[in-house]
Structure 1
Amino acid sequence: MARLLALASLLGCSQALFAVNTVDIPLNGSKAILRPDAYGYSVEPSSMAPFLQTNLASVLMGHIANIIGTPAPIRVGGNIADQTLFVPDLDTPSLALPNDTTVEVLQIQKDWFRGWTEYFPRGTDFIYTLNLRNTSQLWTNAMQEAAAAMDVLGDSLALFELGNEIDHYINKGWRTATWGTKEYTHQWKQLTHQILTAGFYRNSTHKPRFQAAVFADPPWVPDQHDEIDDFDIINVTRAGLVDPQIIAAYSVHLYPQSTCDEVRRARLSLNLLSDHEVIWRNLSQYVPQQAAAEAAHAPLVLGETNSASCSGQSGISDTFGAALWSTDYVLAAASLGIEQVLFHLGHTSAYSAFTPAPYESEGEELEAGIRANFYSHVFLAHVLGARNNRPQQISALAAANASDFSGYAIYGEGPRSGLEKLVFVDLGVWNSSVGLHNPSTLSATDSTSVSPGRRPHRKVQARTTWQPGTEVKILKLQGPGTNAKSGVSVSGVSFSPETGEMVGREEKEKVVVQHGGIVELELLQAEAILAQRV
């Protein structure tokens, strides 16, 4: 059980308050798969060309691939997927109309897909969302997209999706009121049959599979439902959307907050985002959905997510608090059996982890750069990367489960099976007076809130099965405070916002396992720590 001890002053010197948590690591408990590609990105189709115009994302994704040993997956999809038209004789690879910041239609031709495999690290898996909105002439548009993507991307094209957030089609005027799981399943099977039997698919040496569902509305949050419908994984699998041979995953989308309207915008809160109990509650609503997907012999994934829908909110989405949120979010999702989390990116979106080029927003000229939340991926890359690429499993720790504190045990398989890593995240809010500005974010949202006194810290005593004397390597996700937009690092390592190149050297830190398998760790309020057996 956790014990909270408050220390006053010692020999007249003021000391920060600290918490002491004793955490027992269970020998046996519920474990879930922790995939090396558990953290990836979803890129709005109209943002692919702007991202590829600079090297920033390419270099950053290279760092992630080097740490994990496998690249992060890239889904090219989003609202614009169902507004994408294939124009074979277009005189440019893509054309966003009226422009690339206010896109109503994205016209593409085959050359649009070129360069993706060279830009992203070798071995990157792409998920591509076909236009399901346009049903004319037996899905001609979707078929042209599929043929071009397969021809250009080859082995890199892992999965197709059919449509984006199809449970919003009635509200958008793209389907009639009869649109539900039965009609969707019929259309999904019709289009997949056409793809599977087409010459371009049958004659290909690499045959991508499908990521089904792609639903937006969370089961337990009624005010995020755009329409009344029956779309969820339970109902759609009951309607017959089950085919383990071609369905590799079922996808749902989740945004815990929203900027899409003034009512929800008024509720936006960085403190609410960086709260483990809220994270757990948001993800727990998908437990029945995950069970339905598993019964259909495919995993459930969060195929599109981020801190707040409709492009996020500067001052929340681009802070260190968002980095701590996404760290806890990915691990909590994995522990519940949600195997992959893809964070949505736009080239001018407040929630994007990095932005490729300067742009204007709300009267300010923003620079290209890296936001604080990218460092969550860097930190988690060390968690996801396994010794000798062996499979890993994850378990949430019951003794580290509070609003401001969470913990996870990572287990390996093979000759050295057993506990390999521990992750603890302190989500307590600590607002700093430094690191508040980042030239790639709005200066108008730079925080003016400062927490009083000295920054608290937490001591964790983890009772493990590790032998006394075993060395344990320590890595930390660090930032000046929850409200910081800059000054973030992973144990002293940061990245140039101009080039993406690594800056600084990793600060080496180790502890030794004590008698009884005790590992003593210390972390500041608003910080995450990884302890890995050497």
Structure 2
Amino acid sequence: MPRLTTIASLLTAGQTLAFSTVTVPSNISRAVLRPDAYGYSIEPSSLSPYLQSTIASTVLKTIADIIGTLFVPDLDAPSVAEPNDTTVEVLKIRDDWFRGWTEYFPPGTDFIYTLNLRNESHAWVNAMQEAAAAMEALGESLALFELGNEIDHYINKGWRDDSWGTSEYTRQWKRLTGQILASEFYKQASHQPLFQAAVFADPPWVPDQHDEIDDFDIINATKAGLVDPEIIKGYAVHLYPQSTCDEVRRARLSLDLLSNHQVVWTNVSQFIPQQEAAEKARAPLILGETNSASCSGQSGISDTFGAALWTTDYVLTAASMGIEQVYFHLGHQSEYSAFTPLAYEYEGESLTAGVRANVYSHLFLAHVLATKDNKPQQISALPSANASDFSGYAIFGEGKHKHKHLGLEKLVFIDMGVWNASVGLSNPSTLSATDSTSVSPGHRPTRDVRVQTSWPSGTKLQFIRLQGPGTNAKSEVDVSGVSLDLESGEPVGKIRKEKAVVRHGGAVEVSLRQAEAILIQLA
């Protein structure tokens, strides 16, 4: 039997070295790792500001050039937002609002569009008009429709009465999808988008993030009949591990808590029963909207290098559990946004447009997910790299070396230990009031990792690092020497791939600084 847990952690007070021994069991369970495992969800009122700036297009193109596939923006946005562009009650759009999306985003970008489920009167006339306009304008770029957003909050918002639950929702969902499928605009279209169902907001195990008492989850919805693998291509849920929505939850916000693998695992694992219910219904479960903290995040936490390490671990943890896609929410004035399109005034400060430290997780993950010709990959979380400050993943595929079965191609290790730096603490697109003043004492610790692999000795390897000054850094972050210009998002520098070889018996040795991630891949 393979040994599953062999971690030796020797770091104590006064020492600057940790050592971890990791094995890759031959019989480890695997999950699908999609090349589009992560994407972006854009706040409705924010799409127009993003389209007024080149920064999103620039950043997405840089990542697309690495990965060979593209992100899937989830767009349900207005042309006119009432009462204002940050607190939206009414969304008003015109047919021509859709124009320009396919020109702005990189070629090959897919869109998921959320239709209006709130207004059920007059035979869903708003939703039908939206569907027709979106299909005509977006064509083959329109991958899926969603029906409504966070529909488990509809009672609390006053949009449905107390009878609203999975049974009534399923009835209305089937009625509206039936109308779309039977419509002339749909039947005559050369490309016919299918549907993503559910779109539930409340996490199963976090009662204080539930806005109302209801039975909305994937288990109950599928039991109520929300099952149709011919047209349902995914079930969406939302997840925010922390929140700024009220003072009680805001007081609990912590960068140290965010940068903790065991907390990541606990947050994601609550959806395992939901994932199993979705799989039984023959469609994947996806995290359709997520980020570090609900209600737009918190500067000093959401826009730091620690958030970049969290994002990296979060996406890979979710994928290893069978949650195939994760969409990170963007708002043009949201503190958790990886990049902001326009300058704005916020809390008495003038913030510039630009990229933030958390965007580097996406740049690093592009290398992790990249695969030649979209060949299949699988991922496993490594049991012997599973601590609060350390996680590891094995990725299997064909790569450059053809196997009868998918073979080990890549390894990813993330040191999530908190190390607070004295440099890189400011970023003109973030609040200066939240620049860290905490500095870790002494020298930055290093973790030596020894991995036992199936690779033959002498096999050539490449290392790519996600690195920054420290957990609290807002700038001076890079991926093996490649950074993004703070204002334009343009890539700066050339990637430096460290070279190594597999040692005797399949051993791979690498050093990892505290608060750093590394990709080890076949050269």
* TM-score (structure 1 length as normaliser): 0.95
Is 1:187 the counterpart of 2:172 in the alignment?
A: yes
The letter of the residue matching 1:158 is A
**1:16 Cα offset (Å):** 5.7
Distance 1:373 1:342 in 2: 14
Residue number in structure 1 paired with 2:444: 455
Distance 2:75 2:256 in 1: 31
**1:508 Cα offset (Å):** 2.7
Q: Secondary structure at the match of 2:190?
A: coil
Q: Secondary structure at the match of 1:337?
A: coil
Is 1:422 the counterpart of 2:427 in the alignment?
A: no
Deviation string for 1:400-454 (max 9, x for gaps)? Answer: 0000000000000482330000000000000001110000000000001000000
* 1:508 counterpart (497, 504, 516): 497
Is 1:266 the counterpart of 2:251 in the alignment?
A: yes
* 1:518 counterpart (500, 507, 512): 507
**1:496 Cα offset (Å):** 1.1
Residue number in structure 2 paired with 1:250: 235
The letter of the residue matching 1:355 is T
Deviation string for 1:24-64 (max 9, x for gaps)? Answer: 11112110000000010000121111001111110110011
Distance 1:460 1:389 in 2: 30
Residue number in structure 1 paired with 2:475: 486
Q: Secondary structure at the match of 1:339?
A: coil
Deviation string for 1:272-327 (max 9, x for gaps)? Answer: 01100000000000000000000000000000000000000000000000000000
The correspondence of residues 277-288 of structure 1 with structure 2, limited to 5 A, is 277-288=262-273
8 Å Cα contact 2:352-2:487 kept in structure 1? no
* 2:484 counterpart (485, 495, 500): 495
8 Å Cα contact 2:468-2:477 kept in structure 1? yes
Q: Secondary structure at the match of 2:427?
A: coil
Is 1:297 the counterpart of 2:282 in the alignment?
A: yes
The correspondence of residues 41-56 of structure 1 with structure 2, limited to 5 A, is 41-56=40-55
Is 1:22 the counterpart of 2:7 in the alignment?
A: no
The letter of the residue matching 1:196 is L
Residue number in structure 2 paired with 1:359: 344
Of residues 413-422 and 119-128 in structure 1, the stretch that sits farther from structure 2 once superposed is: 413-422
**1:6 Cα offset (Å):** 4.7
Q: Secondary structure at the match of 1:338?
A: coil
8 Å Cα contact 2:33-2:324 kept in structure 1? yes
8 Å Cα contact 1:17-1:457 kept in structure 2? yes
8 Å Cα contact 2:381-2:392 kept in structure 1? yes
Residue number in structure 1 paired with 2:520: 531
Residue number in structure 1 paired with 2:139: 154
Distance 2:227 2:106 in 1: 33
The letter of the residue matching 1:423 is V
Q: Secondary structure at the match of 2:160?
A: coil
Residue number in structure 2 paired with 1:320: 305
Distance 2:349 2:245 in 1: 21
Distance 1:332 1:289 in 2: 16
Of residues 457-466 and 500-509 in structure 1, the stretch that sits farther from structure 2 once superposed is: 500-509
Q: Secondary structure at the match of 2:205?
A: coil
Distance 1:7 1:271 in 2: 19
Distance 1:246 1:123 in 2: 22
8 Å Cα contact 2:242-2:249 kept in structure 1? yes
Distance 1:163 1:380 in 2: 30
Q: Secondary structure at the match of 2:324?
A: strand
Is 1:465 the counterpart of 2:470 in the alignment?
A: no
**1:104 Cα offset (Å):** 2.7
Is 1:37 the counterpart of 2:36 in the alignment?
A: yes
The correspondence of residues 433-452 of structure 1 with structure 2, limited to 5 A, is 433-452=422-441
Is 1:113 the counterpart of 2:98 in the alignment?
A: yes
- Percent of residue pairs identical: 71
The correspondence of residues 372-391 of structure 1 with structure 2, limited to 5 A, is 372-391=357-376
Q: Secondary structure at the match of 2:357?
A: coil
Q: Secondary structure at the match of 2:21?
A: strand
Is 1:72 the counterpart of 2:49 in the alignment?
A: no
The letter of the residue matching 1:448 is T
8 Å Cα contact 2:398-2:409 kept in structure 1? no
8 Å Cα contact 1:16-1:454 kept in structure 2? no
Q: Secondary structure at the match of 1:399?
A: strand
**1:516 Cα offset (Å):** 0.6
Residue number in structure 2 paired with 1:237: 222
Superposed CA RMSD: 1.2
Deviation string for 1:141-171 (max 9, x for gaps)? Answer: 0111100000000000000000000000000
Of residues 113-122 and 331-340 in structure 1, the stretch that sits farther from structure 2 once superposed is: 113-122
**1:97 Cα offset (Å):** 2.3
Distance 1:302 1:448 in 2: 34
Distance 1:221 1:470 in 2: 46
The correspondence of residues 406-421 of structure 1 with structure 2, limited to 5 A, is 406-413=391-398, 415-416=402-403, 417-421=406-410
Distance 2:190 2:325 in 1: 26
8 Å Cα contact 1:3-1:21 kept in structure 2? yes
8 Å Cα contact 1:16-1:457 kept in structure 2? no
Deviation string for 1:308-363 (max 9, x for gaps)? Answer: 00000000000000000000000000000000000000000000000001011111
Q: Secondary structure at the match of 1:422?
A: strand
Residue number in structure 1 paired with 2:8: 3
* 1:370 counterpart (343, 355, 376): 355
Distance 1:198 1:390 in 2: 37
Number of residues of Structure 1 aligned to a counterpart in Structure 2: 514
Of residues 448-457 and 498-507 in structure 1, the stretch that sits farther from structure 2 once superposed is: 498-507
Pair 318,6 (structure 1): closer, same or farther in 2 beyond 3 Å = closer
Pair 448,201 (structure 1): closer, same or farther in 2 beyond 3 Å = same
**1:510 Cα offset (Å):** 1.1
Is 1:475 the counterpart of 2:464 in the alignment?
A: yes
The letter of the residue matching 2:47 is M
Residue number in structure 1 paired with 2:157: 172
Q: Secondary structure at the match of 1:185?
A: helix
Q: Point out where structure 2 has 5 or more consecutive residues left out of the alignment.
A: 1-5
Q: Secondary structure at the match of 2:276?
A: helix
Distance 2:455 2:106 in 1: 36
Residue number in structure 2 paired with 1:309: 294
8 Å Cα contact 2:195-2:233 kept in structure 1? yes
Residue number in structure 1 paired with 2:314: 329
Deviation string for 1:379-402 (max 9, x for gaps)? Answer: 000000113421100000000000
**1:73 Cα offset (Å):** 1.0
The letter of the residue matching 2:27 is N
**1:7 Cα offset (Å):** 8.8
The letter of the residue matching 2:97 is W
**1:506 Cα offset (Å):** 1.2
Residue number in structure 1 paired with 2:3: none
8 Å Cα contact 1:284-1:336 kept in structure 2? yes
Distance 2:187 2:211 in 1: 38
Q: Point out where structure 1 has 5 or more consecutive residues left out of the alignment.
A: 9-14, 85-93
Pair 291,436 (structure 1): closer, same or farther in 2 beyond 3 Å = same
8 Å Cα contact 2:394-2:408 kept in structure 1? yes
8 Å Cα contact 2:452-2:506 kept in structure 1? yes
Distance 1:133 1:50 in 2: 25
The letter of the residue matching 2:215 is D
8 Å Cα contact 2:460-2:502 kept in structure 1? yes
